[in-house]
Structure 1
Amino acid sequence: MGYRNTRECLEALEAGGQLVRIDKCVDAKLEIGAIQRRVFRAKGPALLFSNVRGCRFPMAANLYGTRERMRFLFRDTLETVERLMKLKLDPMECLRRPWRYLDAPRTAWHTLPKKVSDGPVMANETVVSSLPELQSWPMDGGPYVTLPQVYTEDPAAPGFAGSNLGMYRVQLSGNDYVRDREVGLHYQIHRGIGHHHAEALRRGEPLKVNIAVGGAPSMTLAAMMPLPEGLAEIFFAGALGGHRIPMVMRPGLLPIPAEADFCICGTVVRGGEKSEGPFGDHLGYYSLAHDFPVLKVDRVFHRDDAVWPFTTVGRPPQEDTLFGGFVHELTAELVPSVFAGVHEVHAVDAAGVHPLLLAVGSERYVPYAAERQPQELLTNAMALLGNTQTSLSKYVLIAAREDLPHGVGCHDVPAFFRHLLERADLTRDLHFITRTTIDTLDYSGISLNQGSKLVLAVAGDRKRELAAEVPPGLDLPRGFRDPVVFAPGILIVKGPKHRRKRDQQDPALERLGDMLAGVSGIEGFPLVVVADDAGFTAKDWDNFLWVTFTRSDPATDIYGAGAFTHAKHWGADKALVVDARLKTYHAPPLEDDPEVEKRVDELGAKGGPLHGII
Structure 2
Amino acid sequence: MGYRNLQDCIADLERRGELIRIEQELDPRLEIGAVQRRVYRAGGPALLFTRPRGSRFPMLGNLFGTLERTRWLFRDALRGVETLVRAKIDPRELLKSPSALLRAPLAARYLLPRRVRKAPILAHRTGLEQLPQLVSWPRDGGAFITLPQVYSEDPAAPGWRHSNLGMYRVQISGNDYGPAEAGMHYQIHRGIAIHHRRALEAGQPLRVNVFVGGPPALSVAAVMPLPEGMPEIAFAGLLGGRRIDLTSAANGLPMPAEADFCLTGWLDPAVLKKEGPFGDHLGYYSLGHEFPVFRVETVHHRPDAIWPFTTVGRPPQEDTSFGAFIHELTGELIPEVLPGVHAVHAVDAAGVHPLLLAVGSERYTPYAEPGRPQELLTQANAILGQGQLSLAKYLLIANAGDNPPELQRIDDFLRFMLERVDWRRDLHFQTRTTIDTLDYSGRGLNRGSKLVVAAVGKPLRRLAAVLPENLRLPDGFSDPTLPLPGVLAVRAPAWGAPPHGNDPVLDQFCRRQEKLGMDEGIALVVLVDDPQFVARSLDDWLWTVFTRSDPAVDIDGLGADTLHKHWGCTGPLVIDARLKAHHAPPLEELPEVEKKVDELGGPGGPLHGII
- Which category of TM-score, normalised to the shorter sequence, fits these structures? over 0.9
Relative distance call for 1:558 and 1:167 in structure 2 (3 A) is same
Distance 1:164 1:413 in 2: 34
2:505 aligned counterpart, secondary structure:
helix
Deviations 1:543-576, CA, capped at 9 Å, x for gaps: 0100000000000100101111122111010111
Q: Measure how far apart 1:291 and its partner are.
A: 0.2
What is residue 549 of structure 1 aligned with on the other side?
546
Contact (CA 8 Å) 1:429, 1:457: kept in 2 or not? yes
How many corresponding residue pairs? 602
Contact (CA 8 Å) 1:280, 1:286: kept in 2 or not? yes
The match for 2:468 among 471, 489, 507 is 471
The match for 1:425 among 419, 422, 425 is 422
What is residue 94 of structure 2 aligned with on the other side?
none
Distance 1:50 1:251 in 2: 29
Contact (CA 8 Å) 1:150, 1:211: kept in 2 or not? yes
Deviations 1:496-549, CA, capped at 9 Å, x for gaps: 101223444532211211223664443211111111110001111100100000
Relative distance call for 1:371 and 1:217 in structure 2 (3 A) is closer
Give the alignment of 1:224-303 within 5 angstroms.
224-249=223-248, 252-303=251-302
What is residue 9 of structure 1 aligned with on the other side?
9
The match for 1:601 among 590, 593, 598 is 598
Contact (CA 8 Å) 1:216, 1:260: kept in 2 or not? yes
- Provide structure 2 residue ranges, at least 5 long, that are not aligned to the other structure: 92-100
Q: CA RMSD in A?
A: 1.6
Relative distance call for 1:327 and 1:103 in structure 2 (3 A) is farther
1:476 aligned counterpart, secondary structure:
coil
Give the alignment of 1:10-159 within 5 angstroms.
10-88=10-88, 104-159=104-159
Q: Measure how far apart 1:82 and its partner are.
A: 1.4
The match for 1:573 among 570, 573, 579 is 570
Deviations 1:6-46, CA, capped at 9 Å, x for gaps: 11010000000111110011100000000000000000011
Deviations 1:264-306, CA, capped at 9 Å, x for gaps: 0010121211000000000000000000001011111100000
Q: Measure how far apart 1:218 and its partner are.
A: 0.4
What is residue 377 of structure 2 aligned with on the other side?
378
- The amino acid of 1:112's aligned partner reads L
Relative distance call for 1:259 and 1:368 in structure 2 (3 A) is same
Q: Measure how far apart 1:459 and its partner are.
A: 0.6
Q: Does 1:528 align with 2:525?
A: yes
Distance 2:518 2:145 in 1: 53
What is residue 391 of structure 1 aligned with on the other side?
390
Distance 2:518 2:489 in 1: 15
- The amino acid of 2:366's aligned partner reads P
Distance 2:522 2:83 in 1: 45
User: After the TM superposition, which of the residue ranges 317-326 and 50-59 deviates more from structure 2?
Assistant: 50-59
Distance 2:531 2:597 in 1: 31
1:150 aligned counterpart, secondary structure:
strand
- The amino acid of 1:514's aligned partner reads R
- Provide structure 1 residue ranges, at least 5 long, that are not aligned to the other structure: 92-100
Contact (CA 8 Å) 1:110, 1:238: kept in 2 or not? yes
Distance 2:297 2:33 in 1: 29
Deviations 1:114-133, CA, capped at 9 Å, x for gaps: 11123101100000000000
Q: Measure how far apart 1:383 and its partner are.
A: 0.3
Q: Measure how far apart 1:371 and its partner are.
A: 5.1
- The amino acid of 1:507's aligned partner reads P
Relative distance call for 1:503 and 1:367 in structure 2 (3 A) is farther
What is residue 345 of structure 2 aligned with on the other side?
346
What is residue 309 of structure 1 aligned with on the other side?
308
Distance 2:249 2:34 in 1: 39
Q: Measure how far apart 1:162 and its partner are.
A: 0.7
Distance 2:369 2:585 in 1: 50
Contact (CA 8 Å) 2:251, 2:265: kept in 1 or not? no
Task: Provide the TM-score with structure 2 as the length reference.
Answer: 0.96
Q: Does 1:441 align with 2:456?
A: no
Deviations 1:90-116, CA, capped at 9 Å, x for gaps: 99xxxxxxxxx9995432211101111
Distance 1:383 1:517 in 2: 40
What is residue 191 of structure 1 aligned with on the other side?
190
Q: Measure how far apart 1:473 and its partner are.
A: 2.9
Relative distance call for 1:235 and 1:371 in structure 2 (3 A) is closer
2:343 aligned counterpart, secondary structure:
strand
Contact (CA 8 Å) 1:150, 1:166: kept in 2 or not? yes
- The amino acid of 1:332's aligned partner reads G
Relative distance call for 1:414 and 1:329 in structure 2 (3 A) is same
User: After the TM superposition, which of the residue ranges 112-121 and 444-453 deviates more from structure 2?
Assistant: 112-121
Q: Measure how far apart 1:385 and its partner are.
A: 0.6
User: After the TM superposition, which of the residue ranges 210-219 and 563-572 deviates more from structure 2?
Assistant: 563-572
1:380 aligned counterpart, secondary structure:
helix
Q: Measure how far apart 1:251 and its partner are.
A: 7.1
User: After the TM superposition, which of the residue ranges 562-571 and 150-159 deviates more from structure 2?
Assistant: 562-571
Distance 2:400 2:358 in 1: 9
Relative distance call for 1:468 and 1:261 in structure 2 (3 A) is same
Distance 1:589 1:370 in 2: 46
Distance 2:104 2:64 in 1: 26
Distance 2:130 2:375 in 1: 56
Task: Provide the TM-score with structure 1 as the length reference.
Answer: 0.96
Distance 1:455 1:504 in 2: 25
Distance 2:83 2:541 in 1: 37
Relative distance call for 1:479 and 1:519 in structure 2 (3 A) is closer
The match for 2:494 among 488, 497, 508 is 497
